[in-house]
Each structure stands twice: as C-alpha cells, then as structure tokens.
Amino acid sequence: MSDDIKTRLLDAAQLLVQTHGHNGYSYRDLATQVGIRTASIHYHFPAKTDLAVALVRRYYEFVSTAMKKIEGEHTSLAKRLEGVAAIYSGCLSANHRICVASALAAEYSSLPREVQEELNRLITDSQGWIAHFFEEGKKRGEILPARDPAALARLWYAALQGALVVARATDTTVLADVTNILQQLTIQG
Amino acid sequence: MSDDIKTRLLDAAQLLVQTHGHNGYSYRDLATQVGIRTASIHYHFPAKTDLAVALVRRYYEFVSTAMKKIEGEHTSLAKRLEGVAAIYSGCLSANHRICVASALAAEYSSLPREVQEELNRLITDSQGWIAHFFEEGKKRGEILPARDPAALARLWYAALQGALVVARATDTTVLADVTNILQQLTIQG
DNA sequence: GTCTATAAGGGGATAGAC
DNA sequence: GTCTATCCCCTTATAGAC
C-alpha cells in the first residue's frame, strides 16, 4: 500500500518528536529508520512542516478516539480519570516518550505557524474532554460542589504533562504517584 | 569586566532555551543578539555543550537561592507554596518562557550526557526543596496527616512545570488557576 | 514512488592575525 | 578578547532519470 510508508514515516517522526523534539531530528534520521532516501520523503511530505502538521493531526485523532472510548466504557469519574492517565502512561512506557503536545509546546516559538495552530487545537480540546468528564462527575456528586470542573481539568492536564517531562530526569514513578494523589485529592468520598 | 559578556551570553542563551529549546538556537543567534561574532563566543564557551552546562548550573543557583529566601521569609506552608509558584510565574510573564528544566527535559534524549546530568540534579533537588516545605508543613498540621509530603511535592512540581508548557497554547491563566486549585486541595483548613 | 545528483545555506568549531 | 577566514558536515529542498 502507498499509505504504509507514510504511516511508517509518521511513526518514526512521532517517536523522534517525543524524545528529541521537532528541532532534534532530520529527514536523514527518518530515512535511516524507514529505509529510504531523504529525497523520497519529500514525495510524501514536501516540507518538514507538512510532516509536523500531519503528525499533530494524527495524534489529535488518537487522543480524541481514546477519550470517546473512555466515555463509552466508564461512567464513574474515577474510572474515567484512570483512563485518561493511562493514555499518558502509555507514552512513558514506550521509550520514555512524553506527549506530542508538550514535546512541541516546549519549542513553541520556533515552530511554524501552522504547527502552532494545530497544537493549540490539540491542547485546548484535550483539556476540554477532561473538563467534560469533570462536569458530568459534578452532576453525579463525585466531586465537592464547590470545585470548578474547568479548573480541575486544567490541573489534571498540566500535572500529567508535567509528570511525563519530569519523569525523564528522576526515573521514579512520578506519573503513578501524581495520578494517585490527584485521585485522592479530587474524588469525593 | 570580562564576566559581563559571559553573563550576557548566558542571558541570551537562557531566553532562547526557554522559548526555542536547546536544539532551536545557534551561536549565530547569540552572536546577533549580543553583538559579537560567533567565533568570539567559542572563547567564552568552547563548545555549545559547555554553554548548556553553565546555563543549567547558573539556573540551579537561581532556584536554590529563591527557595532559601522563601524558607527564610515565610513559615506557613501556604505562603511558601505561593513563593514557589511565583518563581515559575516569573518565567511566564517574561516572554512566555517555560522553566529551563522542562525546556531541556523535553529534548532529553538529544542532549549531551553532561547536560542530562546537570538537569537530573536540578529537577531532583527542586522537588526536594518543595518536599522539605511539605514535611515542615505536615509537622505543623497544615496538611492532612494521611498525605505523603514527597508525593504532594511531586504533584506540585509536575503541575507547575506542565502549566507553563500548556499556557503557551491556551493563553489563559492556566498557571494561576492551577496554583489556586492546588492550594485549595492541599492546604488543611 | 524511489532513486542519484546537486544546490544553497546553516551548524559547530578551529587557526591565526590584531 | 575579538576579529576574519575557513573547514567540514548536516539540513532542507529541488530536478530529473528510472
């Protein structure tokens, strides 16, 4: 299939973005890993920016799909948040990656505008999905009535992103620790 | 003074690291900003790695000093955490920077070993200082007895780092929101 | 779709004059 | 300490053959 090599290029690029950053890999790295020449990559993605945009869009779909699956499979807030945390612990367990969102956001000012815009969408909507879980949880009395669902969502999202980043330099189980204590602090009962 | 240009180089490099990342700036950028030629920079920092190491060490001293000042000026856990949050909100207000720690941690695998080691120390000790505040706070009954000070410190550190990163793509007051809700959730009373 | 060849410029770094 | 000149490799990207 013609899509196959495109997928393999995106897979390789994603791993490199999540470990080295957008400015930390080249078409040469990709070529070596996928087994073609750098010039051939330009056939699939004319410019590196095109690749980056495609990468963020694909990642957006991945997160979006995962969130919908969580919503369908679990009704309790605690279980849903567990599912959200699992998305990000999945990154960590595969080669000490961080989320594509924070990998790119760290280099924000150096990114092409198109990539910045896709990134804004990814981050805004990711927080939005989590906020949605908190709003439903509030209606079900699963958090203290005084708490703001949107603020809790921002906290969870920031903490999960930060935990992955920090995990690299401390090797401890930061993400698991953060998830546990967040559950204790936010869930009512 | 001979140190002056060294300081200006470190200042310029730090801003670039906090906005573009280590792989996102060059000696050329530095040269333009400081007003000398790239070759002259090599006199002060023979290799880019040397500059990066010096940068992280200087930043370590900055954070270390700030933490000691917080400990001396405030005794309550709430006030101390406010002080810690102020360190990071200071980054944000100056050119939408993120912390040097997360900027570099995002590109971890692509960094020279010496830089990785300095970064490990920065992140480990930063968490350690916050954990120290929580331990004292626990003795003073300012958190619930059941809470683990180390875990709370990890949560705070991850959330602050993550909030700065996320703030770039959402422009909202994420850091302030995260700090507020963390205070509500962690402080007893 | 993938290749070779090649362009044009950026990257870190060094030698040696001043 | 800073400069000019230079090296050599990497980087993105294009042209055109297969």
Whose CA is closest to B41, among B18, B12, B19? B12
Residue B139 lies in a domain: yes
Answer whether any strand C atom is within 7 A of the Cβ of A2: yes
Share of chain A above pLDDT 70, in %: 98
Residue A82 lies in a domain: yes
What is the Cα–Cα distance from A46 to A29, expressed in whole angstroms?
Answer: 16
Q: Is the predicted pLDDT of residue A109 greater than 70, yes or no?
A: yes
Determine the distance between A39 (CA) and D17 (C1') in angstroms: 14
Q: Is the predicted pLDDT of residue A2 greater than 50, yes or no?
A: no
CATH code of the domain covering residue A126: 1.10.357.10
What is the Cα–Cα distance from A168 to A98, expressed in whole angstroms?
Answer: 9
Cβ distance of A127 and B181 shorter than 8 Å: no
Q: Mean pLDDT for each 10-residue chunk of chain B (189 residues)?
A: 85 98 98 98 98 98 98 98 97 94 98 98 98 98 96 98 96 92 91
Count: domains in chain B: 1
**Length of chain A, in residues:** 189
What value, to the nearest 5°, has the Cα angle with vertex A170 and ends A152 and B115?
115
* B58: closest CA of chain A, how far (Å): 18
Structure confidence at residue B189 (pLDDT): 67
* A19: closest CA of chain B, how far (Å): 6
Determine the distance between B25 (CA) and C8 (C1') in angstroms: 20
What is the Cα–Cα distance from B24 to B39, expressed in whole angstroms?
Answer: 19
Residues 119-158 of B with CB under 8 A from A: 119-120, 122-124, 127, 147-148, 151-152, 154-155, 157-158
Q: CB of A74 within 8 Å of any CB in chain B? A: no
Its domain, for residue B122, covers: 50-186
Residue nearest to nucleotide D15 (CA to C1'): A39
User: B26 in helix, strand or coil?
Assistant: coil
- The residue whose two tokens read 């003074």 is B1
DSSP string across B105-162: HTTGGGS-HHHHHHHHHHHHHHHHHHHHHHHHHHHTT-S-TTS-HHHHHHHHHHHHHH
pLDDT one-digit tens code per residue, A34-47: 999 999 999 999 99
* A90: closest CA of chain B, how far (Å): 17
Residue A23 lies in a domain: no
Instruction: Return mean pLDDT, chain A.
Output: 96
Q: Is the predicted pLDDT of residue A3 greater than 90, yes or no?
A: no
Cβ distance of A102 and B165 shorter than 8 Å: yes
Structure confidence at residue A172 (pLDDT): 80
Residue B148 lies in a domain: yes
How does DSSP classify residue B49? Answer: H
Q: Which nucleotides of D are covered by protein (CB under 7 A)?
A: 1-6, 10-16
Answer whether any strand D atom is within 7 A of the Cβ of A54: no
* Three-state SS sequence of chain A: CHHHHHHHHHHHHHHHHHHHCHHHCCHHHHHHHHCCCHHHHHHHCCCHHHHHHHHHHHHHHHHHHHHHHHHHHCCCHHHHHHHHHHHHHHHHHCCCCCCHHHHHHCCHHHCCHHHHHHHHHHHHHHHHHHHHHHHHHHHCCCCCCCCCHHHHHHHHHHHHHHHHHHHHHHCCCHHHHHHHHHHHHHCCC
Where does residue B1 rank: exposed (0-12), middle (13-18), buried (19+ CB within 10 A)?
A: exposed
Tokens of A66: 């995962």
Lowest model confidence (mean pLDDT) among A147-151, A159-163, B167-171 = B167-171
What is the Cα–Cα distance from B171 to B1, expressed in whole angstroms?
Answer: 40
* B-chain residues near A124 (CB < 8 A): 169-170
Tokens of A70: 């969580």
Residue A20 lies in a domain: no
Whose CA is closest to A135, among A124, A149, A151, A145? A149
* B-chain residues near A165 (CB < 8 A): 102, 105-106, 158, 161-162, 165
Cβ distance of B165 and A106 shorter than 8 Å: yes
- pTM score: 0.97
Q: Which nucleotides of C are covered by protein (CB under 7 A)?
A: 1-6, 10-16
Contact B103, A103 (CB under 8 A): no
Nearest residue in A to B150, CA atom? A177
Long-range residue pairs from B4-12, CB within 8 A, at least 24 positions apart, any chain: B5/B34, B5/B36, B5/B44, B6/B44, B8/B34, B9/B34, B9/B41, B9/B44, B9/B45, B9/B51, B10/B51, B10/B54, B10/B55, B10/B58
What is the Cα–Cα distance from B174 to B163, expressed in whole angstroms?
Answer: 6
Over residues A91-112, the mean pLDDT reads 96
Q: Which nucleotide is nearest to A36 (CA to C1')?
A: C2
How does DSSP classify residue B171? Answer: -
Residue B35 lies in a domain: no
Q: Residue B6 contacts by C-beta under 8 Å, 6 or more apart in sequence?
A: B44
Residue A58 lies in a domain: yes
**Total Cβ atoms within 10 A of residue B128:** 13
Residue A117 lies in a domain: yes
